Chains A and B, each alone.
Chain A
Amino acid sequence: MLSLIGIVIVIIGFVLRINPLLVVTIAGLATGMASGLGPLEVVAAFGKAFITSRYVAIVWLVLPVIGLLEHAGLKERARAVVSGLRAATTSRVLLAYFAIRQITAALGLTSLGGHPQMVRPLIAPMAEGAAENQYGELPQSVRYKIRANAAAVDNIALFFGEDIFIAIGSILLIKGFLDQNGIHVEPTQLAIRANAAAVDNIALFFGEDIFIAIGSILLIKGFLDQNGIHVEPTQLAIWAIPTAICAFVIHCARLLLLDRQLRADLAREPEKA
């Protein structure tokens, strides 16, 4: 029971709005102490865990180039491009990004998005630009709302796209086999070719890097294996599809309503000012 102290500290800290870095550090140290480590051992364990998690921070390497481009007017340009499209609304811009992000994630291309490299410099300015196009200068509160929605789209589309990757990979694999069957060759030759193609595809689709995209599937498989239950990654990925469809339907329906909400917000705004 004592080992739950870290959770209690985190909850209290977030409620009291104490600096989260401090809260998390204290929670970590307290949890380590509660599990019977000595003070120095806890500090060492924390240091080790922090150092092995450094890969999380590599995404910040994009900041110099993104900052440079922003200085040169990248966001303003992204806004201008959208304002040239009369059909563009905030809802439609975000819907399009949602669809692209979910589909590319399902194809294993999870690195085609992200907050520092896509949402801040491109997607959020485009969504804002579409609204400016329709309503003119926007109050700050409406801008904030649009930006928060842009960030949410990136998250939701990623989470509920990436898990079905193996299913799509294996469909492509099967299609590869069928394509090969259409060509008339000797059965043995066919088998060799099919095998070569399969190996190639597996290397391409199931390579180590892609395992990051489908880390959760492998974690599930590894855990179930340890418990004596053997499932195929494909099965897991196929059963992720219904939820992926629900995510698409639910969030896109909400995005469609966003334009109307923004209009209502803007109608209310002048009264305040």
Chain B
Amino acid sequence: MIILEHIYWLSGLMFAGVAIVNWRDRSNPRRFNNTAFWGVYAVTFLVGSRLPDLANGFLIIAMVLVASIRGLGQGKQESATREEREASARRWGNKLFIPALTIPLITVLGTVLFKRIAINGMPVVDLKQVTVISLAIATIVALVTGMIMLRPPLLAPIREARRLLDAVGWAAVLPQMLAALGALFAIAGVGNVVSGLAQRWIPLDNPFVVVATYAVGMAVFTMIMGNAFAAFPVMTAGIGLPLIVQKFGGDPAIMAAIGMLSGFCGTLMTPMAANFNIVPTALLELPDENAVIKVQIPTALMLLGANILLMNFLVFRH
């Protein structure tokens, strides 16, 4: 049976390959920093599950120090000039889309099919992680298809992965780091303190003010935590249930559904939601790391207003 750990090994091998390619690239003035950063990251994937927590903790601190004190660099060579790429695009035409579209297609097929296939009564993949495993398998199928079609040198994929990963840089690790921060916030009970503050400071005797506080609180706390899932229990236990449901008789299902979506408005506005907002700016090579957030803020604010009005009209109707 394929489990998540196998996918981690595969990821670890890729990061190790990236580290090695970086080590051999003399055009990058900080090549040893890159090697150390991606090499340690590879270790956390290859053997992280078997290392003691403390060792993992120190490995991560080492990665952070490498990335922040001397910084990561980028190699100078472009892999192909624009003219070369345009000529290649003309040569291959729409066939180039085949491997690219294989990824979503196989991922979706995998999530549906793997649940129905069993060998000797054992599922082929760990069904709890079927989407992630399907994605990994889809990328392998797409890569093999691309290799057969384009016949590049054998090491081309890892060199190209290195190029893209170094363009993203340390931001590639930020979403995972923020998830870890969220776990520590939970251990320290940060949420209860925040909802206690909200209850103490805001006048909450008018139903509309309560609804608005709950929705805005969801958005703001999501911006702080980077994740609406972390904000929801705190705000709902602190404001939603005691005031909207118990005091004013609101409908809990409507409150919770629109409350969560108010949190998503916050997700659109915060750099803490790095995988949605910061990683794409790196991937798209935008000089302003807040460019995506700036585009999203008007929609997020209008939608938050819409949510407050919707909740106010719908939640007390019964």
Residues of A within 8 A of B (CB): 1, 3-4, 6-7, 10, 14, 18-22, 24-25, 27-28, 31-32, 34-35, 37, 40, 42-78, 80-81, 109, 111-113, 115-122, 124, 144-145, 147-152, 154-156, 159-160, 163, 203-204, 207-210, 212, 215-216, 219-220, 223-224, 227, 229, 231-232, 235-240, 242-243, 246-247, 250-251, 254
Contact in complex: B299, A251 (CB < 8 Å): yes
Tell me which residues across on chain A come within 8 A of B74, comparing CB atoms: none
CB distance from B272 to the nearest CB of A (A): 7
Contact in complex: B59, A10 (CB < 8 Å): no
Tell me which residues across on chain B come within 8 A of A18, comparing CB atoms: 68
Contact in complex: A63, B164 (CB < 8 Å): yes
In Å, the complex CA distance between A152 and B103 comes to: 21
Taking A57-B45, A68-B157, A247-B299 as given, write out 4 further A-B residue pairs in contact, using a Cβ cutoff of 8 Å, ordered by the A residue number: A35-B189, A49-B180, A80-B90, A209-B115
Contact in complex: B86, A76 (CB < 8 Å): yes
Contact in complex: B96, A66 (CB < 8 Å): no
- A68-B150, A72-B89, A73-B86 known; A240 and B188 CB under 8 Å? no
Nearest B residue (CB) for A121: B100
Q: Does B201 contact A (CB under 8 A)?
A: no
Q: CB < 8 Å: which of A47, A212, A232 contacts B56? A: A47
Contact in complex: B275, A56 (CB < 8 Å): yes
Convert B149-184 into 0s and 1s, putting 1 for each residue whose CB lies closer than 8 angstroms to a CB of A: 010100011111101110000111111111111111
- A72-B150, A119-B284, A247-B303 known; A47 and B59 CB under 8 Å? yes
CB distance from A163 to the nearest CB of B (A): 7
Contact in complex: B229, A215 (CB < 8 Å): yes
Question: Which residue among A3, A60, A68, A237 has the maximum number of chain B CB atoms within 10 Å of its CB?
Answer: A68
Listed by A's residue number, 12 A-B pairs whose Cβ atoms lie within 8 Å are A4-B190, A35-B189, A48-B57, A64-B160, A65-B99, A67-B157, A68-B150, A152-B299, A155-B296, A163-B260, A239-B253, A251-B299
Q: Does B39 contact A (CB under 8 A)?
A: no
CB distance from B295 to the nearest CB of A (A): 4
Q: Does B239 contact A (CB under 8 A)?
A: no
Q: Does B117 contact A (CB under 8 A)?
A: no
Contact in complex: A242, B232 (CB < 8 Å): no
- A31-B185, A254-B299 known; A10 and B224 CB under 8 Å? yes
In Å, the complex CA distance between A44 and B85 comes to: 47
Tell me which residues across on chain A come within 8 A of B45, comparing CB atoms: 54, 57
Q: Which of B5-13, B26-34, B206-214 contacts A (4 or more CB under 8 A)?
A: B5-13
Q: Does B198 contact A (CB under 8 A)?
A: no
Tell me which residues across on chain A come within 8 A of B268, comparing CB atoms: 152, 155-156, 159
In Å, the complex CA distance between A72 and B87 comes to: 9
Q: Does B187 contact A (CB under 8 A)?
A: yes
Tell me which residues across on chain A come within 8 A of B94, comparing CB atoms: 77, 81
CB distance from B315 to the nearest CB of A (A): 9
In Å, the complex CA distance between A99 and B103 comes to: 20
Tell me which residues across on chain A come within 8 A of B276, comparing CB atoms: 155
Interface residues on B, range: 35 or more
Contact in complex: A216, B157 (CB < 8 Å): no
Q: Does B294 contact A (CB under 8 A)?
A: yes
Contact in complex: A20, B103 (CB < 8 Å): no
Contact in complex: B245, A20 (CB < 8 Å): no
Contact in complex: A73, B85 (CB < 8 Å): yes
Tell me which residues across on chain A come within 8 A of B55, comparing CB atoms: 47
Contact in complex: A69, B253 (CB < 8 Å): no
Tell me which residues across on chain A come within 8 A of B52, comparing CB atoms: 44
Question: Which residue among A31, A44, A220, A223 has the maximum number of chain B CB atoms within 10 Å of its CB?
Answer: A220
Tell me which residues across on chain A come within 8 A of B135, comparing CB atoms: 58-59, 61-62, 111
CB distance from A219 to the nearest CB of B (A): 6
In Å, the complex CA distance between A58 and B284 comes to: 19
In Å, the complex CA distance between A270 and B172 comes to: 36
Q: Does B312 contact A (CB under 8 A)?
A: no
Tell me which residues across on chain A come within 8 A of B58, comparing CB atoms: 43, 47
Contact in complex: B292, A69 (CB < 8 Å): no
Contact in complex: B257, A111 (CB < 8 Å): no
Tell me which residues across on chain B come within 8 A of A163, comparing CB atoms: 257, 260-261
Tell me which residues across on chain A come within 8 A of B80, comparing CB atoms: 71
Q: Does B241 contact A (CB under 8 A)?
A: yes
Nearest A residue (CB) for B264: A159
In Å, the complex CA distance between A74 and B160 comes to: 13
Q: Does B111 contact A (CB under 8 A)?
A: yes
Q: CB < 8 Å: which of A35, A45, A64, A220 contacts B14? A: A64
Contact in complex: A55, B174 (CB < 8 Å): no
- A31-B190, A71-B160, A155-B268 known; A216 and B228 CB under 8 Å? yes
